[in-house]
Amino acid sequence: MSQRKIERIYDARRSSDGAGVDIQRLVPPAGSNAFDPFLLLDEIKGDGGNGFPPHPHRGFETVTYMRRGAFQHEDHMGNRGQVGAGGAQWMTAGSGVIHSEMPLPDDGWLHGFQLWLNLPAEDKMMAPAYLDAQAASHPMLEHQGVRVRVIAGELSWGGQVAAVDLPPRKTDPHYYDIEISADATIDLPLPETHRVFVKVYDGQVQVGDQTISSQQLAELGPGDQLVASSPAGAKLLLLAGVPLAEPVAQYGPFVMNTRQQIEQAVQDYRNGVLTKQSEPLSDR
């Protein structure tokens, strides 16, 4: 097996979004597609402010994973659901969604993550969809001082196998929440076809001779194995996906392939027809 090594490290930056929601945001450098097939990763930790009132999206998917507290989702399709601790919400914006995400803190506190996952060009105008996957849908594996919760994908590790049943995606996302006990080492198999990122949100993680600290995201190089340790213990997310290798054009809540398609999305939203479009881009 070939161990993956750290190629780049990115620092999160503090930001605010929605109606006063404090976040730690990880985005690729301006004008790049460095996280392909992922677009951004937000960590929400606090009271959740006044949440995210109704707003639009087109061209990608959001994955909201909670560790404490909950968010209540409502959208123009009539979907209404809560994603609580250990659960995840998948919203495929496709051709267009208008939704809200309102905080439901646990004793005044929220902690969770929202990942933006790109859609391939052929699917950007697909019909939107919504899925709640509560904590029971996400198996937990434990082995030699390490716990892994599988949010997406499958994992065969430590003589155990776990998988989450989701509709197939070209990006084949794998999403794990990992807790490493002090002085423990994790040895995970990873698909060679995927780009792999590690986001530490508590403590420090050692990969080879490099250290990833809290609020940092590391991109790993080629290989089929992650070996990592933490002398004092740590918590991290592992994200892996098949890159799309397509151009990305983004403007706020819209992610398409060309500037013309972005302008069309803005026009559709202003004209009140964003959620009424579900046609091949070739016909637009």
Separation between Cα atoms, residue 183 and residue 269, nearest integer Å: 52
Domain-located, residue 95: yes
What distance separates the 2 farthest-apart alpha carbons in the chain? 57
Here the CATH number for the domain that contains residue 95 is 2.60.120.10
Number of domains in the chain: 2
Question: Are 235 and 130 part of one and the same domain?
Answer: yes
Confidence class for position 278, pLDDT limits 50, 70, 90: low
Going by pLDDT thresholds of 50, 70 and 90, the confidence category of residue 59 is: very high
Query: Which band of pLDDT confidence, cut at 50, 70 and 90, is reported for residue 21?
Result: confident
Beta-carbon contacts of residue 26 (< 8 Å; ≥ 6 apart): 10, 12, 13, 35, 40, 41, 42, 199, 217
Residue 87 lies in a domain: yes
Cβ pair 205, 212 in contact under 8 A: yes
Contact status, residue 271 vs residue 283, Cβ threshold 8 Å: no
Q: What pLDDT does residue 30 have? A: 80
Are 128 and 267 within one domain?
no
Residue at 283 is within a domain: no
Flag whether 279 is in a domain.
no
- Residue 13 and residue 268: Cα distance in Å, rounded? 32
**Res 19: pLDDT:** 85
Is 169 inside a domain boundary? yes
CB neighbourhood size of 7 (10 A)? 12
Bond before 37 cis per omega within 30 degrees:
yes
pLDDT at 31: 77
pLDDT in tens, 75-114: 999 999 998 999 999 999 999 999 999 999 999 999 999 9
Task: Over range 24-28, report the average pLDDT.
Answer: 94
Expressed as residue numbers, the domain containing 270 is 249-274
Establish if 282 belongs to a structural domain: no
Residue 283 has pLDDT above 50, yes or no: no
Q: How far apart, in whole angstroms, are the C-alpha atoms of residue 101 and residue 70?
A: 10
Mark whether 119 and 255 lie in a shared domain.
no
- pLDDT tens digits for range 134-162: 999 999 999 999 999 999 999 999 999 99
> How far apart (Å, rounded) are the C-alpha atoms in residues 8 and 149?
25
Instruction: Spell out the SS3 assignment of the chain.
Output: CCECCEEEEEECEEEEECCCEEEEEECCCCCCCCCCCEEEEEEEEECCCCCEEEEEEECEEEEEEEEECEEEEEECCCCEEEECCCCEEEEECCCCEEEEEEEECECCEEEEEEEEEECCHHHCCCCCEEEEECHHHCCEEEECCEEEEEEECEEEECCEEEECCCCCCCCCCEEEEEEECCCEEEEEECCCCCEEEEEEEEEEEEECCEEEECCEEEEECCCCEEEEEECCCEEEEEEEECCCCCCCEEECCEEECCHHHHHHHHHHHHCCCHHHCCCCHHHC
Same domain, 180 and 108: yes
Kindly state whether residue 19 falls inside one of the protein's structural domains.
yes
Among 27-31, 81-85, 172-176, 217-221, the minimum mean pLDDT is found in 27-31
In a shared domain, residues 100 and 164 = yes
Q: Mind listing the pLDDT tens digit for each residue in 259-268?
A: 999 999 999 9
Q: With respect to residue 284, please indicate whether it lies within any of the assigned structural domains.
A: no
Are the CB atoms for 59 and 255 separated by under 8 Å? yes
Question: Which amino acid does the sequence have at 112?
Answer: G
d(CA 150, CA 159): 15
Q: How many Å apart are CA 47 and CA 70, to the nearest integer? A: 11
Is-contact 67 112, C-beta < 8 A? Answer: yes
Least-confidence region, from 185-199, 216-230, 268-282? 268-282
Same domain flag for 44 and 74: yes
**Tens of pLDDT along 237-274?**
999 999 999 999 999 999 999 999 999 999 999 999 99
- How far apart are alpha carbons 253 and 152 in whole angstroms? 23
Residue 224 has pLDDT above 80, yes or no: yes
Rounded mean pLDDT, 12-22 = 89
Mean per-residue pLDDT of the chain: 93
191 and 216 Cβ atoms separated by less than 8 Å: no
